[in-house]
Structure 1
Amino acid sequence: MNLMSKPQPEYMEAPLRTARRPVRQPLLLALALGCGVLLGANPFRPSSQNPDGTVRGYLRFKEVLSYVDRDYVDSVNAEALSDYAIGRMLEQLDPHSTFIPAKQQQQAASFLQSDFDGVGVEFNIFHDTVTVVAPLSGGPADLSGLQPGDRIMAVNGERVSGIHITTEQMFGKLRGIRGSKVVLQLLRRRQAKPINVALIRNRIPNNSVDVAYLLDKQTGYIKISRFASGTYDEFKQALGDLRRQGMTSLVLDLRGNPGGYLDRATKLADEFIGGTRKLVYTDGKGDQYDTQTFSRVTGEFEEGPLVVLVDEGSASAAEVVAGALQDHDRALVVGRRTFGKGLVQQPIALNDGSELRLTIARYYTPSGRSIQKSYRKGLAAYEQDLQNRLRHGELFHADSIRFADSLRYHTDYGRTVYGGGGIMPDLFVPRDTSAFSAYYTRLQSHNLVREYALKYFQEHKAEIEALRPEQYLSSFRITDAQLQGLVELAAHDGMPANPTHLRTCASLLRNQLKAYIARSAYGKATYYAVLHEQDVEIKQALLAVSNGSANPIQKLSMK
């Protein structure tokens, strides 16, 4: 599915998975699209190429801040001013060097952690009310009997509904030290009075492999949302399970994957590439940050048809994987041009607990392509790049993309590929235009599709759960009456029906409603299986497997 039509990720106690990079929100900077991180010991020392200039700049800033703090007409928060100044300074360097204040560093770091302490519940916010989407299997919320549709009215006696609470604030209330107690006040359907449920926080897996299952009898599917600390182990487990089920070809979905740890990404790529071949290299100011990474282990899937799905939300480490597999002709890359984030950040712990993530090098694919798109026109233009792609038609027509001859490179078998920003797929798949209507966009922004699906599931829970997942997939349909129910809910929310726009996106809405109902009834695998019924990229991947183009090496060697 395209970015506009795919459902937004469920809110969880885990941090937000993707975020844009506004200059004045340090936490979102840390979670920004394309958060490539080079792991290793902190190599930085208090030295400088221009020590006199550094000292003069430091003393000048200290003097100005001291005057402001002492003499400015109003009281000021000197630390906040300092944080702001640091952010603006880094903004002059590149779009991805960031500063994370100490109070936000823990949440920023948890984006790449494989687990966290909490109660284990997916929630959403409907009409200023925190609503349970699903308890995570085996977690405290699940074991305590929380149900989809439960409305959380208070946490430890403190009201959380009707006060415009944010997702981040709710994270903070539900998460806590393992073994600590939290009491939720719930309002449950068909119960007149709220109930109190006490939970003991425990370790909750923060999985980055969203789902892994067989698309057909021999084609496996693995979706990776980011490259976190546990991604490689999760991937190996999923790959092994699929192989035991008879998988002989694989679709690796990196759409919307913003990146993460470089070493997890290269270890994953190594599972597909045989021999000793370059996977990626980095080039920095000096030899200190110049690295080359090669395949070195006998991978579990070095032969067999392989398709990698990418889109404009695939960034950083995800682009490293796609670029390596494409340069070595190991996989067919399907979708749209990736984000174009090829800058490497080194995390540097500062004395007060804050963190600097400083760009120290650039990523290059094995053929020599730079992944990073240009940021010479400044941060504002850089952040408008995806909108510009949409406006210029790139997301719908491959021939609207122009590459300079100077950026031409070649794969192992001589295929032409281009650098200059992002990975261009071998097989272009345009976005579906059915989502481009104001009515559809408002339905999504108000969470009305999810709200109606959850309400429908609650009202028909017994009859839906009486079906096996495969029966649900084959026989359940969203009727005109059910679609009209969504329209009426939207009208009640101040969103009158637009018949023309509704006709345009009706098929998409039916698919989403069926998927969200499946999420509540059966879990993620069935949820994704429903979404994939109308996923054009998945259909193209399966076609590539069947016609042999998903195995580029074999196809090229036969010519």
Structure 2
Amino acid sequence: MKIKKAYLPILLAAFMVVGLLLGSFLNFPESKRSALYSNKTKLNKLIDFIDSEYVDDVDADSIVDLTVNSILEKLDPHSVYIDRAQMESVAQSMRGDFVGIGINFYMYKDSVAVIKPIPGGPSAKAGIKSGDRILYADNYQLYGKNLPNDSLFSKLKGEEGSKLTLTVYRKSEDKEFKVNITRDVVPIQSVDAAVMADDNTAYIKINRFAETTYKEFETALKLLKKEGADNLIIDLRDNGGGYLEKAVDIADDLLEDGLVIVKTKNKKGREDITYAHDDGMFEKGKVYILINENTASASEILAGAIQDNDRGTIVGRRSFGKGLVQREMPLGDGSAVRLTVARYYTPSGRSIQRSYADGGEAYFDDFAKRYENGELYAADSIKIADTLKYKTLRGRTVYGGGGIIPDVFVPLEGEHGDEALLMVMKSGIVSYFVFEQLDNHRKDFEGLTLDALQEKIKNSDKYYNAFGEYLANSGLVLPLEKHKDEVKYYLTAEFSRQLFSEKVYYQMLLKRDTMVKKVLEYERQLKK
């Protein structure tokens, strides 16, 4: 499509991002102000030239996206452009809910297959069951089309209270029927699990910090305290961050009145300090924070606040190292720029931001470097910035310059070279395999108690062998025989999740989780 004059306001508005990225125009000295004006004029002329002279038709949106992304890439790895297509899913994830029909599903053999309806959601209330195929949404055919996710979601989502008629095929009964559903608000949980790891230790896993995270955390902690929790494990592994305010709210529940939680400083040198208040929910019990190389941003702020105030023990491996603050700025057409506006500092004053001087690709490929230099397997391989020493509240030495270094190191699970298998056993591949097994043999599992299910998987090689064949057919060759018991255990956990609940799944995983076992062992030693 050739650029029309009607597009020019949008294009020019996008190029005004240059002004945001280079600073406040009104506060610039005259020389810098003139240079900025000249640069913006240059960009405006370029758009006019493309509009009037360029030989081929040009997609206006692609020019905007390319230009804005090119500008942001020159700044830092975390200043990013979010186009209109992405904004809705990003907003839903951070809001913590969406309006829809409430199912977990796969696109399985080109049809929408229900893994499980969300408990209490619209589909569960309407009688949808695991294994059902959704053939039509109203009169729109969903099967046999290789629909992209955005097209599929658009048919299932809608306004709260709106009606939708689904045509469903139930394989277990070999029947097709229609069901009427009223769309409703469906939560997107940010707290994956809240269970007791032992008689007095609570375990809460947080996957991101969304608008609803603190409420989820608060509700979970209240229930676990009633179950006898004196100690608390907060699992922040693979948590890439989110809303800083929600991480601060959780830290506030763990820290005594007046302690510093986080500091931020902007380009003008303004420092904002956030302090804890009194009456936190868990100011006295022991706290353990689990981190790994994918723990980033707001997660690192929570871990840093606990470590610098000597409030608890950080367990795991060095965190990612993101200490930059972003603010989302709408661009007026449904897109937005997420721009770095300040830096985080932990209570002791240390920045945890890693260097990004070598560019974004090298910055995000840091895991490979850590793997190669042995840091994921040995604490003494962690590169410490000796020149960036800081003191915790009680005088312990901690280091800045690249993530949170744990107090108790736990290496990557498995022997060197076997990590791939353990990663696979916690991945979607296992989930998909188990769904297929249930889908083809659902009657074999009807009426089984949890204990009976676990014995069924453990005491037979049937599913272990089937999984090996499944991996081989997928092109994956892994040393299953060497880890047969481990493979069976994770298969059992996934069967338990799909047939029973997330809670059962996590209760099983915790028994094999090396970091959780380290915490519980550490606690036992302290009691001796």
1:376 deviates by 0.5
State which drifts further: 450-459 or 98-107.
Answer: 450-459
1:547 to 521, 525, 528: 525
Task: Note the 1:293-442 alignment, pairs <5 A.
Answer: 293-433=274-414, 440=421
Q: Does 1:451 align with 2:432?
A: yes
Distance 1:349 1:241 in 2: 39
Task: Note the 1:113-128 alignment, pairs <5 A.
Answer: 113-128=95-110
1:174 to 131, 149, 156: 156
**What CA deviation, in whole Å up to 9, does each residue of 1:339-384 have, x standing for no partner?**
1111001122233332221101111111111111110101111121
Q: Classify the secondary structure of the residue corresponding to 2:76.
A: coil
Q: Contact 1:102/1:353 (CA < 8 Å) preserved in 2?
A: yes
Q: Does 1:291 align with 2:269?
A: no
1:219 to 201, 209, 219: 201
1:431 deviates by 1.2
Distance 1:527 1:220 in 2: 16
Flag the 1:438–1:234 CA change in 2: closer, same or farther, 3 A: closer
Distance 2:260 2:102 in 1: 40
Q: Does 1:524 align with 2:505?
A: no
Q: Classify the secondary structure of the residue corresponding to 1:344.
A: strand
Q: Contact 1:101/1:354 (CA < 8 Å) preserved in 2?
A: yes
Distance 2:342 2:463 in 1: 53
1:487 deviates by 2.5
Quote the residue 1:13 is aligned against: none
Task: Note the 1:449-528 alignment, pairs <5 A.
Answer: 449-458=430-439, 464=445, 466=447, 468-469=449-450, 477=458, 479-491=460-472, 493=473, 495=475, 498=477, 501-528=479-506
Distance 1:462 1:191 in 2: 10
Q: Classify the secondary structure of the residue corresponding to 2:353.
A: coil
State which drifts further: 480-489 or 334-343.
Answer: 480-489
Quote the residue 1:282 is aligned against: 264
1:72 to 23, 39, 54: 54
Q: Contact 1:144/1:199 (CA < 8 Å) preserved in 2?
A: yes
1:213 deviates by 1.4
State which drifts further: 130-139 or 429-438.
Answer: 429-438
Distance 2:177 2:373 in 1: 54
Q: Classify the secondary structure of the residue corresponding to 2:479.
A: helix
**What CA deviation, in whole Å up to 9, does each residue of 1:50-93 have, x standing for no partner?**
33222211111111122113222211012320121011101100
- Larger-Rg structure: 2
Q: Classify the secondary structure of the residue corresponding to 1:296.
A: coil
**What CA deviation, in whole Å up to 9, does each residue of 1:387-434 have, x standing for no partner?**
222232221222221112102222222222211111111111111236
Quote the residue 1:14 is aligned against: none
Quote the residue 2:40 is aligned against: 58
TM-score, length-scaled by structure 1: 0.83
Flag the 1:452–1:349 CA change in 2: closer, same or farther, 3 A: closer
Aligned residues: 503
Distance 1:198 1:174 in 2: 12
1:442 deviates by 11
Flag the 1:324–1:532 CA change in 2: closer, same or farther, 3 A: same
Q: Classify the secondary structure of the residue corresponding to 1:104.
A: helix
Flag the 1:445–1:517 CA change in 2: closer, same or farther, 3 A: closer
Flag the 1:226–1:442 CA change in 2: closer, same or farther, 3 A: closer
Q: Classify the secondary structure of the residue corresponding to 2:387.
A: helix
Distance 1:192 1:70 in 2: 62
1:311 deviates by 0.9
Distance 2:306 2:424 in 1: 38
Task: Note the 1:112-191 alignment, pairs <5 A.
Answer: 112-191=94-173
Flag the 1:283–1:447 CA change in 2: closer, same or farther, 3 A: closer
Distance 1:106 1:46 in 2: 31
Q: Contact 1:334/1:425 (CA < 8 Å) preserved in 2?
A: yes
- Which residue type is aligned with residue 158 of structure 1? Y
Q: Does 1:87 align with 2:69?
A: yes
- Which residue type is aligned with residue 296 of structure 1? H
1:156 deviates by 3.6
1:163 deviates by 3.7
Quote the residue 2:247 is aligned against: 265
Over the matched positions of the two proteins, sequence identity in percent amounts to: 37
Q: Contact 1:271/1:301 (CA < 8 Å) preserved in 2?
A: yes
* Cα RMSD for the two superposed structures: 2.8
Flag the 1:445–1:547 CA change in 2: closer, same or farther, 3 A: closer
Distance 2:338 2:60 in 1: 22
Flag the 1:419–1:514 CA change in 2: closer, same or farther, 3 A: same
Distance 2:378 2:453 in 1: 36
State which drifts further: 453-462 or 295-304.
Answer: 453-462
Q: Which runs of 5+ in 1 are unaligned?
A: 1-43, 550-554
Q: Contact 1:213/1:525 (CA < 8 Å) preserved in 2?
A: yes
1:167 deviates by 3.7
TM-score, length-scaled by structure 2: 0.87
Q: Which runs of 5+ in 2 are unaligned?
A: 1-22
Quote the residue 2:18 is aligned against: none
Distance 1:458 1:67 in 2: 59
- Which residue type is aligned with residue 407 of structure 1? L
1:332 deviates by 0.9
Distance 1:494 1:297 in 2: 55
Distance 1:142 1:309 in 2: 34
Distance 1:214 1:472 in 2: 22
Flag the 1:235–1:465 CA change in 2: closer, same or farther, 3 A: farther
Distance 2:426 2:37 in 1: 49
**What CA deviation, in whole Å up to 9, does each residue of 1:282-303 have, x standing for no partner?**
1111145x21111112211111
Distance 2:335 2:327 in 1: 14
Flag the 1:326–1:483 CA change in 2: closer, same or farther, 3 A: same
